Amino acid sequence: MVKKALDNDVALAEIRAIEASIVQAGEELEQTREELKTLRLERNRLGSERAKLTRKLNKIKNQPGMLKKLIWQSEDPEIVALRNQLLLATKLVKE
pLDDT in tens, 42-64: 999 999 999 999 998 888 888 87
Domain hosting 77: range is: 63-95
Asked if residue 92 and residue 74 are part of one domain, the reply reads yes
Backbone angles phi, psi at 90, to 5 degrees: -65, -40
Interval 7-44: pLDDT, tens: 788 889 999 999 999 999 999 999 999 999 999 999 99
Q: What is the pTM of this model?
A: 0.53
| Category of 76 on φ-ψ map: left (φ > 0), alpha (ψ -120 to 50) or beta | beta
Asked if residue 78 and residue 54 are part of one domain, the reply reads no
Asked if residue 73 and residue 42 are part of one domain, the reply reads no
Domain count for the chain: 2
81 with 88: CB under 8 angstroms?
no
Asked if residue 47 and residue 6 are part of one domain, the reply reads yes
